[in-house]
Structure 1
């Protein structure tokens, strides 16, 4: 390949043609608009792809937005294979280094041949072709008339007066079309050969150069021209197998290995933020963290594949700034729905809403962390039927403190807490905390709201837990670094309200602290999760898991002093997982990412990060407590000032006893097609019955209340009494039994 330097060379041409050609060119009017400079042409070059950058400027994800052409970012000459540069010069403009824009000998031969009707190899120099490529008058491009050639020659002469040879060949290789939609050396090299332009060898370079004359020629014709070019370059040995290689290359077989520049780490956020070809947007994402989070999620989902799990999503947020540091929307090729963004999809919340329920109860002094709640079978009349919540594990623990109930994620105590507060009050608190997807009223969701029956997104959940980490102060999330206003990636469905809205105090600092202290207490959750679970980190952190109905979703969200991490695992299509809970599905990913954040990597400039327990805010006192009877060990407990007590005593059964089922106002419908013995009604209490207690229905004693009793229902209205050993009524409910008209009631058969 001839050496390319910016030095000027005088043209060599036929002396007898020079005066006539110069006179003709000088007689023509100069273009009305001056040709752009090299810098202007390069600055105007717009790739067909937009690029999402990490916070440090490294490329994270490239997304093609111009579907008319495929054009890569500008490729400097130093990054283009010398073999390709040489092949293009030999093929298109042998005397490129010698002329000043017009190859006069070639032009003379072409004119003579055209005069006699013959065919010639062509006389357009690279400078002339480049002038045509950058000519703003699109109507003149591609014309082959003598006037168009003369105008192009004039532009080429002027171009060479201001541009260096290196700039001309570099610009030409970046602007010329190679094949189909491929424009420029970068797109051609990546798409056809699956490599960067600097890696092209002689055979690949010859094929690329042969495409310039006829971009859409058949592979056989391209191979033939490439072989002739290789022979001219004294590389005839490279012709062996060239036609087969050309056929594979031009059919797209090599394109399977071609990828967009850099790693493709954030497809879902890129699709939300990138809007124009050539755009380069710096995001708040940390490139190393984003890569690790992707890998951690994929590792866990690969391990769970036999349990019908293929999807997941993950978010990492800086607590102070609200900047999203990692956004993993799916498991990529492990998923059958990789395009679905699990970070914004609305899914059932499971137990992840319980911390906000207890925070509200603490604020309103309905509960303290030491308050006892009975974990026992419960049936509630909702007006549309009976609601009987059950724990995740098929047993009940009796009286437990609110600390143990929240840390152990017990369902019945959570529902009883919601009964105290009311569904509407809790619903309003969740809306204030950023759960904008809860469009219905609290009464519409009912008591199941305590167990996460509502649909939320991972984005909403992550920012809600960040609110607890920030002492109850909610603020919008950001996807770009800095303080100024940034782009909002999405505003509807799972993004509603997440990236916009004024900062606001949702929880009091005291209630947020109490919830965080409970969720960080490994002793309190030991009965459910064990002392050494995925949630038990060697640094201070608070975390909560959740599993939705039928194991369709599981979650793990939590925070340290610096970061909030939230993970969802499930299936985008909604199919249930097989025996996968929050602690076994999402929690391992949460822990792995949280550990990565805190252990640091001094070799990569990431220092080890400590996370110490937060200081208690004003208004809290710590008191030594004991339980009577000793249902839980003595401990130091936090209280809102004025609510502290050193002794926690369980109320007597008689003080707490009430009829749990049938509930007040219940209507029991009998099915005539079911045998009567199969329709007996169990009579249940909310507390353990003492000796001598009994059931009385209307005026008839049914039997003792301290043993299981199944009543054979009779149509009509009834009044059920619970009596103590002295015959005193302790509780009463009214209910009705109905049978279908026109058919015998089941009880009368």
Structure 2
């Protein structure tokens, strides 16, 4: 078939694969352009101000974000630096520059603390959960949620301070626990004794509140948050916070107030401890238990609000408030503790860098007896408002001090101790050393001496004529009669006849270290001495004639070390007079209490020996005596040397002595006195009228038998010191 020249229809395949034909282009229609609106011209001054404001805002914004960026970099850099330089947490828990001293009595019971106590390291995980919760609830309830600084807390504190009329940084600080820890660490600055006079001054400097200080504190806190975990920070805080009564850290405070570990405290005790953080010294339960309990109730309320305690647990804690332990309740022994601190080696007491444990000679039962006796006499027999003072010392025959009262105020520390620091004229309590001199040279209690008018010619000063307290003379009397009635003239005759130097040697041998008078008034107690010195000398008479050194320290060791660094078992030293002379003198002193000036010191069913003493115008009144067990001394007077009104040694001092020793001996078996009237077997109650064997030399001289010259100047000084009083 011949091909056709007609155009063929496109096949389906052609339609499928061929490109579609382009539609015919539409003819573009030209649009007439709208004329541009001319820019509006701003009014001259208004436009300039608007542009100026825009520029100022841009400049301020640029400054703010650039400054903020710089400050942020500085804060991050500083915090990172602190984090890099901070030591391990364990090195921060005990920041004390000095150690502490803990004192226990003769039975091992703690009664006094000196310095800041550190009870040992505790951690946030080892303390009682109640204690941890109480601290967080009270001090920083968002502690586990912030980064060391709480802007909300700071804003709230500033608002409260302004509302209460204080400065924005005064009062509430809004500090987190981390910031408080930073302050306790003094921002990492250690104590330097060359810069600060004391730790107190150092801590006061660390507590300064200024804007710059708060900024540094916040940055340091951020560094701590980078370096440590939250529990690490809380651990440092729990160990370094001061909680009153010398307690540094919660372990020390729990031991101090409750005699238990911080791991064992209950909710009420935990609340009391946490409450102390606000004002440790003011709120310390040893100062005011009720105030401390009231504060604890507020803490219990916070713990309940923050779901740390259920309502039932909170009610129970309020119903059974925390109470002090028996050890914490004891406030006695403050004067004794101060004396031990002063008499011990300074590098282990006041200047110690270690925690030291000292076991002492104190008997707390006797200490309480002495304090109660003094209080009883002043309440019952001294006029109200009297400023008179008194002191008491009780010791064993070897010089171990069992009780000490240095004044009427028995609480507190650091007070003037009249038992150890006040030097007062001894009066007739010095006379036993005069009679001891005679007895040791062979005279007996039955020998006689004249009680007749006596004048001593002092070249350049005229005559010195001592008088008896009763202004009368008894003629020939035995040594015992002269002693028990405290006659002055016989004492002067004995001293002058045997030699003042011998009397002085005996007194010094018994431990009287104070300067002794040079003139004849030596025999009448012209010299000044302390109560503990005089009481120690009488202990030498009780123990049979050997000197003693009063002591209070038995054992000293460092905490954690079982080996003592110092020990002492007794203070008996050299023999001063023979045992026979000491027993004869004891018998004469026994007669003084039974039938002489010391009758008010008698205790029914007990043998008591003692001697009264009163200086002229009753500026000082004494009674010192002993039973077979203990020797005790009492002094009474005014600190400013004002004369006592109607008081002699045979009066109130003897009564204080009686009340003290009656309480001390109450439950003890009676121990007889080691005494005898003359050579031979000891007698408890020898017959009267013994034969007089010899006579004491009667004629005194201005120069004694040892060649000691009594100068007019020395004698005149003695006379002017007015020590011619009796009793």
The two structures have a TM-score, normalised by structure 2, of 0.58
Distance 1:265 1:131 in 2: 37
Q: Which residue of 1 aligns with 2:429?
A: 352
1:459 is displaced (CA, Å) by 1.4
- Kept in 1, the 8 Å contact 2:555–2:567? The answer is no
Distance 1:634 1:269 in 2: 39
1:302 is displaced (CA, Å) by 3.4
Render the CA deviation track for 1:410-438: whole Å, top value 9, x for unaligned: 22221221222122221222222221112
Q: Which residue of 1 aligns with 2:531?
A: 458
1:175 equivalenced with 2:250 (yes/no): no
Q: Which residue of 2 aligns with 1:509?
A: 579
Query: SS of the residue aligned with 1:561?
Result: coil
Q: Which residue of 2 aligns with 1:521?
A: 591
1:476 is displaced (CA, Å) by 1.6
Match of 1:85 among 107, 127, 135: 135
Provide closer, same or farther for how the CA distance between residues 198 and 279 of structure 1 changes in structure 2, counting only shifts above 3 A: farther
Render the CA deviation track for 1:159-202: whole Å, top value 9, x for unaligned: 75xx6xxxx646534535899x9987546454344546984657
Provide closer, same or farther for how the CA distance between residues 429 and 187 of structure 1 changes in structure 2, counting only shifts above 3 A: farther
Q: Which residue of 2 aligns with 1:400?
A: 477
Match of 1:310 among 385, 388, 392: 388
1:510 is displaced (CA, Å) by 1.2
- Kept in 2, the 8 Å contact 1:309–1:570? The answer is no
Q: Which residue of 2 aligns with 1:686?
A: none
Provide closer, same or farther for how the CA distance between residues 477 and 296 of structure 1 changes in structure 2, counting only shifts above 3 A: same
Higher helix share: 2
Q: Which residue of 2 aligns with 1:296?
A: 373
Provide closer, same or farther for how the CA distance between residues 514 and 537 of structure 1 changes in structure 2, counting only shifts above 3 A: farther
- Kept in 2, the 8 Å contact 1:312–1:569? The answer is yes
Question: What does 1:101-180 correspond to in 2, within 5 Å?
Answer: 137-138=188-189, 151-157=223-229, 160=231, 169=234, 171-175=236-240
Q: Which residue of 1 aligns with 2:670?
A: 610
1:416 equivalenced with 2:493 (yes/no): yes
Provide closer, same or farther for how the CA distance between residues 36 and 146 of structure 1 changes in structure 2, counting only shifts above 3 A: closer
RMSD over aligned CA atoms reads 5.4
- Kept in 2, the 8 Å contact 1:189–1:200? The answer is no
1:51 is displaced (CA, Å) by 5.4
Render the CA deviation track for 1:211-268: whole Å, top value 9, x for unaligned: xxxxxxxxxxxxxxxxxx9988899xxxxxxxxxxxxxxxxxxxxxxxx965443444
Distance 1:416 1:79 in 2: 78
Distance 1:150 1:326 in 2: 54
Query: SS of the residue aligned with 1:91?
Result: coil
Distance 1:554 1:400 in 2: 25
Provide closer, same or farther for how the CA distance between residues 49 and 486 of structure 1 changes in structure 2, counting only shifts above 3 A: closer
Match of 2:105 among 37, 54, 67: 54
Question: What does 1:574-589 correspond to in 2, within 5 Å?
Answer: 574-589=641-656
1:275 equivalenced with 2:328 (yes/no): no
Question: What does 1:368-407 correspond to in 2, within 5 Å?
Answer: 368-383=444-459, 384-407=461-484
Q: Choose 451-460 or 398-407, whichever is displaced more.
A: 398-407
Render the CA deviation track for 1:644-666: whole Å, top value 9, x for unaligned: xx643899xxx999999xxxxxx
Distance 1:580 1:460 in 2: 23
Q: Which residue of 1 aligns with 2:519?
A: 445
Query: SS of the residue aligned with 1:503?
Result: strand
- Kept in 1, the 8 Å contact 2:455–2:465? The answer is yes
1:347 is displaced (CA, Å) by 0.8
1:344 is displaced (CA, Å) by 2.7
Distance 1:390 1:146 in 2: 80
Q: Which residue of 2 aligns with 1:741?
A: none
Render the CA deviation track for 1:570-622: whole Å, top value 9, x for unaligned: 1111111111111212111212222222223xxxxxxx2331232769x9326
Distance 2:662 2:546 in 1: 25
Q: Which residue of 2 aligns with 1:568?
A: 635
Query: SS of the residue aligned with 1:285?
Result: coil
Query: SS of the residue aligned with 1:289?
Result: helix
Gaps of 5+ in 1: 1-23, 97-101, 111-121, 210-228, 236-259, 489-498, 601-607, 625-632, 638-645, 661-749
1:407 is displaced (CA, Å) by 2.1
Question: What does 1:54-73 correspond to in 2, within 5 Å?
Answer: 54-62=105-113
Provide closer, same or farther for how the CA distance between residues 598 and 43 of structure 1 changes in structure 2, counting only shifts above 3 A: farther
- Kept in 2, the 8 Å contact 1:468–1:516? The answer is yes
Q: Which residue of 1 aligns with 2:281?
A: 191
Distance 1:623 1:567 in 2: 28
Distance 1:388 1:591 in 2: 35
Q: Which residue of 2 aligns with 1:621?
A: 680
1:280 is displaced (CA, Å) by 5.6
Render the CA deviation track for 1:113-164: whole Å, top value 9, x for unaligned: xxxxxxxxx999857975885698339996669985664233223x75xx6x
1:35 equivalenced with 2:35 (yes/no): no
1:648 equivalenced with 2:698 (yes/no): no
Provide closer, same or farther for how the CA distance between residues 430 and 150 of structure 1 changes in structure 2, counting only shifts above 3 A: closer
Greater length-normalized contact order (CA 8 Å, ≥ 6 residues apart)? 2
1:635 equivalenced with 2:687 (yes/no): yes
- Kept in 2, the 8 Å contact 1:363–1:511? The answer is yes
1:452 is displaced (CA, Å) by 0.9
- Kept in 2, the 8 Å contact 1:556–1:587? The answer is yes
- Aligned length in residues: 515
1:511 is displaced (CA, Å) by 0.7
The two structures have a TM-score, normalised by structure 1, of 0.57
Distance 1:175 1:560 in 2: 50
1:312 is displaced (CA, Å) by 0.7
- Kept in 1, the 8 Å contact 2:426–2:525? The answer is yes
Q: Which residue of 2 aligns with 1:492?
A: none
Provide closer, same or farther for how the CA distance between residues 309 and 616 of structure 1 changes in structure 2, counting only shifts above 3 A: same
Query: SS of the residue aligned with 1:576?
Result: coil
Distance 1:290 1:174 in 2: 34
Distance 2:139 2:513 in 1: 63
Provide closer, same or farther for how the CA distance between residues 264 and 529 of structure 1 changes in structure 2, counting only shifts above 3 A: closer
Distance 2:623 2:183 in 1: 60
Larger radius of gyration: 2
1:473 equivalenced with 2:546 (yes/no): yes
Distance 2:218 2:658 in 1: 73
Query: SS of the residue aligned with 1:504?
Result: strand
Provide closer, same or farther for how the CA distance between residues 74 and 514 of structure 1 changes in structure 2, counting only shifts above 3 A: same
Query: SS of the residue aligned with 2:692?
Result: strand
- Kept in 2, the 8 Å contact 1:343–1:459? The answer is yes
